[in-house]
Chains A and B, each alone.
Chain A
Amino acid sequence: MYLRNALCAATALTVLGTTGAIAETITIATVNNGDMIRMQGLTDDFTAKTGHKVEWVTLEENVLRQRVTTDITTKGGQFDILTIGMYETPIWGANGWLIPLDDLSESYDVGDILPAMAGGLSYDGTLYAAPFYGESSMIMYRTDLMEKAGMEMPEAPSWEFIRKAAAAMTDRDNDVNGICLRGKAGWGEGGAFITAMSNSFGARWFDMDWNAQFDTKPWADTLNFFVGMMNESGPSGYATNGFNENLSLFQQGKCGMWIDATVAASFVTNPKDSTVADSVGFALAPDNGLGKRSNWLWAWALAIPAGTAKEAAAKQFIEWATSKDYIELVAEKEGWANVPPGARTSLYENPNYQAVPFAKMTLESILTADPNKPTVEPVPYVGVQFAAIPEFAGIATEVSQEFSAVYAGQQTVEEALAKAQAITNDAMEAAGYR
């Protein structure tokens, strides 16, 4: 009798154990960028280690946002892992749409995640998404043109210096623009740039009572400075230039300076695509001496939607994809310049990575951006180039359209700011903030 019970128990345990170890197929929704595509190519390593297979759904950023939002709000359960950013994570975490990542293994070393990244991907102190790679923004400039202009780029320049340098580097006859910046409408395009820039001018989106602040002097100073500098030294048609358009101009040697995502450093220094790869220098994003620089903070992170039936396998994947071992794997296969940056402290302590030309400046840029205190004056929101509230994406898209109309010469700065003030206050009132 005892033997039979023991056999039954052993069989049951074996069945349970086998079930627990059953290989799953997890579906991951992601964006198309170099680091994500590289990860797709290395997925065999994860499958070899865990037995789990991975199905990828790669979509354009805005399509992905819409697709994933539909699925998560209806509990469609189409995805086991989502690639989301710093804007969505705290909002979705607060809504209970994401599974907290508070039980990751000890070997994963959560404490190694850069504090700025962990802070931006948490809600109420709980991590809801693990950063796959992080970025800030910084100045990328042509060392040869700077030298020709008889100037020297400081490590932490002011906006006044940048404006002077841009004017000195501009050579319209040879199709060289002193500076290329985003002017394209969209909260994640030109909207992100001008918001980060406005922080350094002492502007903010809202006061502590959620009143719009576009009728203040710092916003007028920001826009007037931007428009003045771009008219003097920017490319024609900059009102429609976003990241990719400026990348293209810079790589073809048509920009003296470009202030944009740190992730662009690996593109502009890649001799395969860039004609100026051997003459690019880096500096911190400019400031105005008010204690805030104009760099942003962003991370693409992996999160697990609440309701997935494959939570355990999804967590295993996240631990694999955002681990120190994964960074080593990429370095071994593709070189240190191609590892996903901006997520882990240990990467910047690694002598191999310190030898990469833009590593130091990337880390310093990330460390100087504080999503919890993004502005000179206090604000009620979290986020450097955005305010982490659900209404922001819609409002900021409309506001950035008004700003782009200024860049295109269709209205004045004053008109755009008045419209931005009205749009924002109306939307915040309708949403019940005011």
Chain B
Amino acid sequence: MSRAVTTRRKTINTVLAWGIGILIFFPILWTILTSFKTEAQAINDPPLFLFFDWTLENYAVVQERSDYMRFLWNSVIIAGGSTLIGVIIAIPAAWSMAFVPSKRTKDILLWMLSTKMLPAVGVLYPIYLIFIELGLLDTRTGLVVVIMLINLPIIVWMLYTYFKEIPGEILEAARMDGASLREEIIYVLTPMAVPGIASTILLNFILAWNEAFWTLNLTAAQAAPLTAFIASYSSPEGLFYAKLSAASTMAIAPILILGWFSQKQLVRGLTFGAVK
């Protein structure tokens, strides 16, 4: 009896999980399907799901019109650079908050998070003027710095949460064995927190990859990443859905593949310590 209940519950859970998964993935699936339609098919009413004349024309048009590789390379540099620098800064910060907390640690953590509550457009002009002064407009360096700063609170928070799960006694033992602070962080703490650090890197890489406000406002022709590539295919007068879908598919493909291959690490990292 209980076995039957368990089996039924498992079946329901599986169906439910698949249903939610498909629901979440559907917009991406629809975008991919639309990218293989003609513009006329893309707006057809009722919508065409699978039975239409599949075409690669939109991809050919996008390839011809835009230098995809340049946008892709800019995305890789901006997302990769900002994540890497952010993690290097955040590891010592999270270490101090997790293992040497002061009376103000909680306040500092909350204050860091509060910076995320300010609408980005509120600081557009000050940042733009600073960028003009420093000659950083339309440079990858400028964007790496800005996006790193935007994501830093999240990186610190995530690492702080993972580090809190590691017993302080282990680090203390390392110190008693003569490890310096640098050695303690690099050789003891970091290897133990690898799943957490990996998931932090992955999540922030995705956030940086998808960031569209600053990347659109601080770039022009040279440093524009894939978000600008997508934005260039939206049109106020004329049908564009199929070509926009092709551009979007090309923009999300790298991150989709990365996410697919690293999903185990991502899930493991995000649920790190959840059962304790």
Q: Are B228 and A59 in contact (CB under 8 A)?
A: yes
Interface residues of B in 95-130 (CB under 8 A from A): 124-125, 128-129
**Known A34-B238, A70-B125, A74-B128: A251·B40 in contact at CB below 8 Å:** yes
- Asked if residues B138 and A32 are in contact (CB atoms below 8 Å), the reply is no
* A263: B residues at CB distance < 8 A: 237
A57 close to B224 (CB less than 8 A): yes
B217→A67 contact, CB < 8 A: yes
Indicate if the CB atoms of A244 and B239 lie closer than 8 Å.
yes
Of A74, A243, A263, chain B has the most CB atoms within 10 Å of the CB of A74
Q: Which residues of A sit under 8 angstroms from B272, Cβ to Cβ?
A: none
Contacts A56-B221, A76-B132 given; indicate if A63 touches B231 (C-beta within 8 A): yes
How many B residues touch A, CB cutoff 8 Å? 32
Interface positions of A from 63 to 82, Cβ below 8 Å from B = 63, 66-67, 70, 74-79
**Residue contact B228 to A252, C-beta cutoff 8 Å:** no
B65 interface contact, C-beta 8 A: yes
Give chain A nearest CB distance to B43 CB in angstroms: 4
Which chain A residue has the least Cβ–Cβ distance from B241? A244
Say yes or no for A354: interface residue by CB 8 A criterion. Answer: no
Q: Does A51 contact B (CB under 8 A)?
A: no
What per-residue 1/0 map shows which CB atoms of A6-35 lie under 8 Å from chain B? 000000000000000000000101011110
- The answer to whether B138 touches A78 (Cβ under 8 A) is yes
Chain B: which residue is nearest A58 at the CB level?
B232
Which A residues touch B220, using CB under 8 A? 27, 29, 55, 57, 78-79
The interface residues of chain A, by DSSP majority, are classed as mixed
CB distance from A31 to the nearest CB of B (A): 7
Contact of A76 among B40, B128, B233, B238 (CB under 8 A): B128
A70 x B217 contact (CB < 8 A):
yes
Contact (Cβ within 8 A) A264 B128: no
Give B209-264 interface residues, CB cut-off 8 Å to A: 216-217, 220-222, 224, 228, 231-240
Cβ-defined contact, B237 with A261, below 8 A? yes
* Contact indicator A243/B236 (Cβ below 8 Å): yes
User: Is A78's CB under 8 angstroms from B40's CB?
Assistant: no
Beta-carbon contact of A252 and B45 below 8 Å? yes
B6 close to chain A: CB less than 8 A:
no
Given A76-B137, A252-B43, A252-B44, A32 and B221 contact (CB-CB distance below 8 Å): no
B184 lies within 8 A of chain A by Cβ: no
Contact in complex: A60, B132 (CB < 8 Å): no
On whether the beta carbons of A243 and B237 are closer than 8 Å, the reply is: yes
- A260-296 residues with Cβ-Cβ distance < 8 A to B are 261, 263-264, 267, 272-275
User: B65 contacts A40, CB within 8 Å?
Assistant: yes
Question: Bound complex: CA of A275 vs CA of B44, how far in Å?
Answer: 11
The distance from the CB of A53 to the nearest CB of chain B, in whole angstroms, is 11
A61 within 8 A of partner (CB): yes
A37 contacts B231, C-beta separation under 8 Å: no
CB–CB B65/A33 < 8 A: no
Q: What are the residues of chain B within 8 A of A67 when measuring CB–CB? A: 216-217
Chain B residues near A247 (CB-CB < 8 A): 238-239
Q: Answer whether residue A115 sits at the interface, using C-beta atoms and an 8 A cutoff.
A: no
Are A273 and B39 touching (Cβ within 8 A)? yes
Query: A275 to B167, alpha carbons, bound, how many Å?
Result: 70
Q: How far is the CB of A333 from chain B (nearest CB, A)?
A: 15
Q: Which residues of A contact B43 (CB under 8 A)?
A: 248, 251-252
Residues of B within 8 A of A75 (CB): 132
| Residue among B231, B232, B233 with most chain A CB within 10 A | B232
Task: Report whether B216 and A70 are in contact in the complex, using a CB–CB cutoff of 8 Å.
Answer: no
Question: Interface centre among A37, A60, A74, A254, by most B CB within 10 Å?
Answer: A60
For the complex, give the distance between the alpha carbons of A274 and B239 in Å: 11
Contact status B45-A60, CB under 8 Å: no
Residues of A within 8 A of B224 (CB): 57
Smallest CB gap from A75: residue in B: B132
Shortest Cβ distance from residue B52 to the other chain A in the assembled complex, whole angstroms: 14
Please judge, given known A-B contacts A32-B232, A40-B65, A78-B137, whether A244 and B128 are in contact too, CB under 8 Å.
no
What residues of B have a CB within 8 angstroms of the CB of A272 in the complex? 40
Nearest chain A residue, comparing its CB with the CB of B235: A32
* Contact assessment for A32 and B239 in the assembled complex, using a CB-CB cutoff below 8 Å: no
* A244 contacts across to B, CB distance below 8 A: 235-240
Q: Mark A94-111, 1 if CB is under 8 A from B, else 0.
A: 000000000000000000
How far is the CB of A68 from the nearest CB of chain B, in Å?
Answer: 10
Q: Which one, B65, B228, B235, contacts A31 given CB within 8 A?
A: B235
Considering only residues 81-138 of chain A, those with a C-beta below 8 Å from chain B are none
B238 vs chain A, min Cβ distance (A): 6
Minimum CB–CB distance from B141 to chain A (whole Å) comes to 16
Instruction: Give the interface centre of A61, A188, A248 by most chain B CB atoms within 10 Å.
Output: A248
Report the minimal beta-carbon distance from B37 to chain A, rounded to whole angstroms: 12
Residues from chain A with a CB closer than 8 A to the CB of B38 are 273
Q: How far in angstroms is the closest Cβ of chain B from A288?
A: 27
In the bound assembly, the distance between CA atoms of A40 and B67 in angstroms comes to 13
Task: Name the distance in Å between A236's Cβ and chain B's nearest Cβ.
Answer: 12
Using known A-B contacts A32-B240, A40-B65, determine if residue A60 contacts B235 with beta carbons closer than 8 Å: yes
Would B132 and A37 count as touching, CB distance under 8 A? no
Using A59-B216, A76-B137 as known contacts, say yes or no to A273 and B239 having CB atoms under 8 A apart.
yes
A-B CB contact pairs (8 Å), 23 listed: A27-B220, A31-B235, A31-B236, A40-B65, A57-B224, A60-B234, A60-B235, A60-B236, A63-B216, A70-B217, A74-B129, A74-B132, A76-B128, A77-B132, A188-B236, A243-B237, A244-B240, A252-B45, A254-B45, A272-B40, A273-B38, A273-B40, A274-B40
Having A33-B237, A41-B65, one finds 6 other A-B pairs with CB under 8 Å, namely: A66-B217, A74-B129, A78-B137, A79-B220, A243-B236, A247-B238
List residues of chain A with CB under 8 Å of any chain B CB: 27, 29, 31-34, 37, 40-41, 55-61, 63, 66-67, 70, 74-79, 188, 242-244, 247-248, 251-252, 254, 261, 263-264, 267, 272-275
The 4 A-B pairs with the shortest beta carbon distances in the complex, nearest first, are A55-B221, A58-B232, A60-B234, A248-B43
